[in-house]
């Protein structure tokens, strides 16, 4: 039996050292950020091509072996997941579709429960509601849930244009940083004669002066501040973290992903940001750290999926779900009177087979 809960707040085993990234994590992160700047330099300064062969891969932290991920699709469900009752019905339906009984679950042992913040919140409240919590505590939890779901006035920027803009602007800023800090009046002239040691020195200089919080603090301490320059340094720092995060996901290095998440966890705790996401990252990472090492690796190495079995083809497991929703709702959804949940439930279990068939027909046409 689980012990009686007297609060809806999560109970997490942690100490003060867990509040910040570890020294090892910071060292690994710094090496990867320098590697990203060097990669962008090679991609955008053509005169450095003679050094390309000496450019090694980014240091690995905890890479997932390249493999073909097996996926088991479930039929679409006509359920409202915004309520506790709807979330419970979805979970029960998933178990029925998988053919799992209560005895099967007991025999299986530990199972991972993944979901977005709202789903996790509803599951926690459901567990609390059935573990002896008082009515007043449940009412308070419901009020907190309603407040947390109030919509914001501003719309988020579309992801794809932002992603492309960050990639282009970061590459341009790296190249301009080399122009400023290479020590030569002409960047191409310097690049043609540069050695790998020269490149490493300039990469370090560009990073320290244009891509770090330390550089930003020095700018803010000046008697006459340049706000535009400060904002550029902020953009450089955050965009570099983002590009490194994207690169780590495609590579399938979950250790590098975790290193970025630990920094973002701290950043999101600052005022007017996203403290709920910071709390979710903190709770998740701290619980994982307390797992048995074998179980921890098993859990983390299932955060990313690879549907091709090729290198640099990993993606987030929730992105796989979004892609399935796209193909089901946009491409293969019926029109008119044929549009029904029965039809949607039927095609969602074979959505990727339908997609591959369509591509085969298009390629042979």
Could you report the per-residue pLDDT of 12-32, keeping only the tens digit for each? Answer: 788 888 889 999 999 999 999
Question: How far is 58 from 198, CA to CA, in rounded Å?
Answer: 19
Whether residue 108 is predicted with pLDDT greater than 50 in this model: the reply is: yes
Whether residue 140 is predicted with pLDDT greater than 50 in this model: the reply is: no
CB of 288 within 8 A of CB of 298? Answer: no
Mean pLDDT of 84-102: 82
Mean pLDDT of 194-200: 97
Whether residue 145 is predicted with pLDDT greater than 70 in this model: the reply is: no
H or E element in which residue 316 lies: strand 315-316
pLDDT of residue 69: 92
pLDDT of residue 152: 40
Question: How far is 218 from 124, CA to CA, in rounded Å?
Answer: 44
Question: How far is 41 from 171, CA to CA, in rounded Å?
Answer: 8
- Residue 8 — very low, low, confident or very high, per pLDDT cuts 50/70/90? low
- Residue 110 — very low, low, confident or very high, per pLDDT cuts 50/70/90? confident
pLDDT of residue 5: 61
Percent of the chain with pLDDT over 70: 86
Answer with the residue of higher pLDDT: 160 or 153: 160
CB of 295 within 8 A of CB of 51? Answer: no
Question: How far is 177 from 210, CA to CA, in rounded Å?
Answer: 7
H-state helical runs in 49-116: 84-98, 102-108
Residue range 255-266, pLDDT digits in tens: 999 999 999 999
String of b and e for 246-263 (b: at least 16 CB within 10 Å)?
ebbbebbbbbbbbbbbbb
Q: Which residues pair with 305 in a beta bridge?
A: 315
At how many degrees (to 10) do helices 196-210 and 159-181 cross?
120
Compute and round to an integer the Cα radius of gyration of the chain.
Answer: 25
Mean pLDDT of 207-229: 96
Residue range 40-83, pLDDT digits in tens: 999 999 999 999 999 999 999 999 999 999 888 888 888 777 78
In the chain, where the domains are located: 32-67+159-277+284-303
Q: Report the range of poorest mean pLDDT among 111-115, 125-129, 330-334, 337-341.
A: 125-129
Residue range 169-195, pLDDT digits in tens: 999 999 999 999 999 999 999 999 999
Mean pLDDT (the chain) is: 85
CA dist list (Å): 232 to 172, 176, 214, 313 = 12, 12, 14, 31
Residue range 276-320, pLDDT digits in tens: 888 889 988 998 998 899 999 999 999 999 999 999 999 998 888
* pTM strictly above 0.85: no
What is residue 97's three-state secondary structure? helix
């Amino acid at each position: 039996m689980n012990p009686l809960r007297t609060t809806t707040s999560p109970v997490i085993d942690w100490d003060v050292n867990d509040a910040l990234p570890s020294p090892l994590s910071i060292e690994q992160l710094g090496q990867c950020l320098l590697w990203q700047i060097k990669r962008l330099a090679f991609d955008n300064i053509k005169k450095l091509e003679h050094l390309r062969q000496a450019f090694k891969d980014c240091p690995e932290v905890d890479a997932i072996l390249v493999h073909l991920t097996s996926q088991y699709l479930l039929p679409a469900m006509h359920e409202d997941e915004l309520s506790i009752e709807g979330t419970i019905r979805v979970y029960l339906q998933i178990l029925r579709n998988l053919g799992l009984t209560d005895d099967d679950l007991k025999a299986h042992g530990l199972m991972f429960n993944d979901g977005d913040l709202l789903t996790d919140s509803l599951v926690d409240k459901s567990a609390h509601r059935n573990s002896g919590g008082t009515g007043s505590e449940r009412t308070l939890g419901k009020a907190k849930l309603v407040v947390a779901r109030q919509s914001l006035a501003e719309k988020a920027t579309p992801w794809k244009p932002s992603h492309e803009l960050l990639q282009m602007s970061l590459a341009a800023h790296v190249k301009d940083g080399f122009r400023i800090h290479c020590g030569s009046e002409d960047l191409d002239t310097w690049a043609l004669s540069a050695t790998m040691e020269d490149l490493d020195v300039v990469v370090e200089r560009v990073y320290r002066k244009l891509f770090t919080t330390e550089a930003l603090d020095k700018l803010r301490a000046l008697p006459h501040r340049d706000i535009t320059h400060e904002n550029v340094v902020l953009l450089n720092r955050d965009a570099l973290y983002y590009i490194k995060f994207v690169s780590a996901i495609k590579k399938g290095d979950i250790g590098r992903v975790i290193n970025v998440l630990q920094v973002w966890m701290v950043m999101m705790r600052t005022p007017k940001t996203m403290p709920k996401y910071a709390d979710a990252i903190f709770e998740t990472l701290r619980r994982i750290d307390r797992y048995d090492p074998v179980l921890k690796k098993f859990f983390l190495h299932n955060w990313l999926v690879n549907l091709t079995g090729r290198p640099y083809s990993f993606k987030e497991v929730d992105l796989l779900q979004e892609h399935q929703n796209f193909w089901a709702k946009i491409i293969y959804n019926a029109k008119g009177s044929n549009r029904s949940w029965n039809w949607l439930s039927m095609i969602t279990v074979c959505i990727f087979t339908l997609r591959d068939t369509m591509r085969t027909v298009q390629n042979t046409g």
